[in-house]
Amino acid sequence: TGKLTEQDEGVKHRGRKLSDSGAKARFYHAVSEAHLSRILKVDLSEELFSYHIDEKARRLAQMMDGKLLLVTNAEGLSAPNVIQRYKSLADIERGFKVLKSEIEIGPVYHRLPERIRAHASICFMALILHRVMRSRLKAADAGYTPERALEQLQRIQHHRVRLNGGEPVTGVSTISTEQNEVLHALGIEKPAAPEQLALL
């Protein structure tokens, strides 16, 4: 605005001469990119460059600054219930993220309804087990994530060995200190077997 006024008064500046239409366009794009078009109104129909501030919109923006506004069409819900439902939705979205990234359940394309239900049930049970594990590990202050806990538990092996045609001997691999900590934190008894065998 100052440059346009100075040009009208005969002051010369370096570079291309600024026009009102060019100034309007540049200002309008800057306002739009800053997402301020509700507050700063640029009058594109005017011959001279001009704009005004919508005070009502500015006061509303100041009032909402730093806040999350939840709008719902569900009748009969109190404000705390709306917030609780919203947080539940966020929890569901986190569950889908866990299924995709941590549990690594890939997309499977089914055609038959019973297979679709079975796949959905497996995903749901996997998510429930993951949540229970996370809750118990946190309550026990074990310092393990469900992923690390599963890595430890996956190393436990059940063996069945037959030597020189004799009777088969079965047993579970020796439980390490870390595996014992995980089992204790999860409230699961150590795998029982007739004998404990060292890893083969």
The string of pLDDT tens digits covering residues 124-175 is 888 888 889 889 999 999 888 888 898 898 888 888 888 888 888 888 888 8
Report the pLDDT value the prediction gives residue 199, as an integer from 0 to 100. Answer: 43
Q: At residue 184, does pLDDT exceed 80?
A: yes
Q: At residue 183, does pLDDT exceed 80?
A: yes
Report the pLDDT value the prediction gives residue 193, as an integer from 0 to 100. Answer: 59
Q: How far apart are CA 65 and CA 86, in angstroms?
A: 20
pTM for the whole structure: 0.48
